[in-house]
Chain A
C-alpha cells in the first residue's frame, strides 16, 4: 500500500486491529529552540497476532512511535487504540503493552528471576504462580537454570533473552521491541531473528519491532512500515515493498536499486543514456501519467550483454556471495560525462564468463521488472 496519495481511514480487514494509530503527531524542541517533527500525522493499523516491523533510517521517528505506544512519550495530537480501547492518555503502567529495550534495561541489583518476576509482582500475581511463570519464561528463551544469576554475569545474547522473557512473562497484548538485536554480533543476530519469529508464532502475541536494518525487516516482518522524516511512506509485505517500492527513497533504502529517469509514452519508455525500453518491461498494472517518470529496477533484473556498440561500459565487478555485482556506466554518444547513468546488475557468478572492466555492453531489463516511483 502506497501512502503518498491516500491514507485509508478505516481498517483494511474486517476484524479490529490489535493496535490502531491515528494521525499521531509529535514535535520535539531542540536545545537551540528549534522544532523537530518526529512524527507527522502517522496512521497505522497492526493486525492481531502479526509481526509488524517499523523500518527507517535513524531519526525517522520509528522509535518515537514505539515510545508513544508504550506511553513513554505522549503524542501532541492523534489517538492510539489497543483492541478498541483508547490508550494514549493512559499512564504507562496501565497499558497492556510491554517493551524490550535496546539497552535491555535489566535491573542490575536483581537476579534474572527477580527481573522476570518484577512485572508479575506489579500485577499482584500470587507468589506460586509467579514462580511457575518465571520458570516457563526462562525455558521459553532457553535460559533454564540461570535464574539466580545477576544480569552482569550474562553475555549480551543472554541478557537480550532475559529482557525478552521479562516482557513476555506479562503476556502483553502487544510486544514492542526497540532495535533489540542491534547490540548483538551478526551471527547471534541471525539466530535471534529466527528465535523471535518462533516466539511470535508460539505465543501469537502481536510484535512491533523497530529496526534500521532492512535485511532484518525483510527477514522478520509479516508487514513492514517504512518511515522517513516522521512519516510512513509505505506499508506492505516485505516482498511487495521490495518489488514495488512507492518512492525513490524506499527503492534506495530497501535493497539495492537502480533509479532511472525516462520519458513514458504508450509504446514504452525512453530512458536517458540507456535507450528505448518496451512497455512490457514495466510492472503489468502500471498506471502512470505519460511524460517524465522515475523508474526503479532491482539489479537482479538487469542484464548486461557484451556488445561492441553497446551504450554502457563496465566500470566495476565484485563478488557478493554467490552473485557477481557488475556496475556499468551508460552514456549516450555525444552527451556530457555528467549525464552518464550508473547501472548495477547482479548475476549468479557460476557458469558465466566474468565480464571485464572496460567491456562495452548493452543493457536490458527483465519483463515486468520496472516500477514507476515517486521522486
Chain B
C-alpha cells in the first residue's frame, strides 16, 4: 500500500501520538528538578572541600570516596574505618525491619478493607490516607509526645500498675522503628489493597470447597494472588525507608543514625559538601541496585505465578 503522502500531518497522526512539544513541560520539569540536581551532586562528589566548609573547591579529588572506607589521621596515615559501612548496614537493617513490620500489618488490613461492602470501602480507603493531610514533621513530633517518659503510653501503663518507672522509649531504636512504620504503613496498605480488591474471593470459596483450611487458603491462594501488590508495597516502603531522615533524627535522638542523617550532617555541622555528595551518590547507587533486585525477583515471581508482569505495577 502506498503511503498517503497527500494526507496532512494531522490526519497521519495516530491515536496516542502527540506533537513533540506537548511533552515539553514534563521534560523541563525532569531536567530542572531531577536531572540537574543529580548532576550537581555527582560533580560535587569528585571535588575538594572548601576552606570554610561551605560549598566546594573546584579541584578534582577522590578523597570523598576514600573517606567512605578510610579515615585519615592528623599525621596523614590512612586506616580502614568501618563507621560509614556500619551506618549503611544500620540503614538497611531499619529499612528491612520497617518493610517487614509494615507488610505483616498491611496484609490483614488490606484484606479486611477489600472484603467490606463496596460503598463502605471507599470511605475506609480514604481514612487510610488521612495521615497525608498533615505534614510529616508535625506527625513525627507528635510521636515525641506519645513516646516520652511522661507520655500517654507510660501514663497508661503506670496507671494500671504494670510498671513503676517509665519505660524509656523515646530516643531509642524502638522509637525510630515505630516512627518509620507509622510513616510508611499507608504506602504498603494501598498497593496491597489495590491487588486484594481485584482478588476474586470465589477462588477462596473454591479452595475451601476442595478441602483447604483457612491458613492454607491464605498461603496458597490469597497470597500468590496479591503478590504484585506486596512487591509494589515493598518497593514503596523499603526505598524511602532506606533514605529516611526525620524518624531517626527526631525519635532516635541522633543515636540511631541512618545514612540520610549523616548526609544532612555533612552539608550542615560537618561542613564537608563533597563527602555529603559522595554519600548521596552511594545511596543512589544502592537504591538502584535494590530496585534491580526487586525487579528480578518480581519477574521471577510473576513468571512463576503466571500473572501480569512487573511493568504493570509502576
Contact = CB atoms under 8 A, between A and B. Distances in A.
A108 B207 CA distance: 12
Contacts of B216: 122
Interface string B115-150: 001000000000000000000000000000000000
A111 B224 CA distance: 13
A99 B221 contact: no
B231 to A, nearest CB: 14
B307 A98 contact: no
A119 B224 contact: no
Contact of B208 (A72, A108, A166, A167): A72
Given A101-B202, A105-B203, A93 B208 contact: yes
A115 B191 CA distance: 27
B209 A92 contact: yes
Nearest to B305: A109
A161 interface: no
A72 B209 contact: yes
A356 to B, nearest CB: 54
Contacts of A103: 200, 202
B212 A122 contact: yes
B200 A109 contact: no
B306 A166 contact: no
Interface string A151-183: 010000000000000110010000000000000
B311 to A, nearest CB: 18
A242 interface: no
A31 B105 CA distance: 30
Contacts of A285: none
B210 interface: yes
A101 B206 contact: yes
A98 B212 CA distance: 12
Contact of A170 (B208, B210, B213, B306): B210
B81 interface: no
B175 to A, nearest CB: 40
Contacts of A91: 208, 213
B205 interface: yes
Contacts of A152: 306
A98 B205 CA distance: 11
Contact of A107 (B117, B203, B208, B209): B203
B266 interface: no
Interface string B207-231: 1111111001000110011000000
Interface centre among A70, A105, A167 (most CB of B within 10 A): A105
B3 to A, nearest CB: 38
B205 A105 contact: yes
B210 A122 contact: yes
A150 interface: yes
A298 to B, nearest CB: 39
Contact of A109 (B202, B212, B307): B307
Contacts of A119: 210-211
A123 B211 contact: yes
Interface string B290-307: 000000000000000111
Contacts of B205: 72, 92, 101, 105
Nearest to B201: A105
Contacts, number: 67
B218 to A, nearest CB: 13
Contact of A166 (B210, B221, B225): B210
Contact of A122 (B202, B211, B305, B306): B211
Contacts of B220: 118
Interface in B178-204: 200, 202-203
Contacts of A71: 208-209
A93 B211 contact: yes
Interface in A100-155: 101, 103, 105-111, 118-119, 122-123, 150, 152
Contacts of A109: 224-225, 305-307
A31 B117 CA distance: 10
Contacts of A98: 209-210
A103 B206 CA distance: 10
B306 A118 contact: no
A150 B305 CA distance: 10
A108 B210 contact: no
Interface string B222-261: 0011000000000000000000000000000000000000
Contact of B221 (A70, A92, A101, A107): A107
A108 B202 CA distance: 12
B119 to A, nearest CB: 8
A166 B207 CA distance: 11
Contacts of B207: 107, 118
A109 B202 CA distance: 14
Contacts of B200: 103, 105
Contacts of B208: 71-72, 91-93
A107 B216 CA distance: 14
A118 B210 contact: yes
Contacts of B307: 108-109
A263 B45 CA distance: 106
A48 B238 CA distance: 58
A116 B157 CA distance: 53
Interface in B9-30: none
A104 to B, nearest CB: 8
9 contacts: A72-B208, A93-B209, A101-B205, A105-B202, A107-B206, A110-B306, A111-B306, A118-B210, A170-B211
Interface of B: 117, 200, 202-203, 205-213, 216, 220-221, 224-225, 305-307
Given A101-B205, A106-B206, A152-B306, 10 more contacts: A70-B209, A71-B208, A72-B205, A98-B210, A105-B205, A105-B206, A108-B306, A111-B306, A119-B211, A122-B212
Interface of A: 31, 70-72, 91-94, 98-99, 101, 103, 105-111, 118-119, 122-123, 150, 152, 166-167, 170
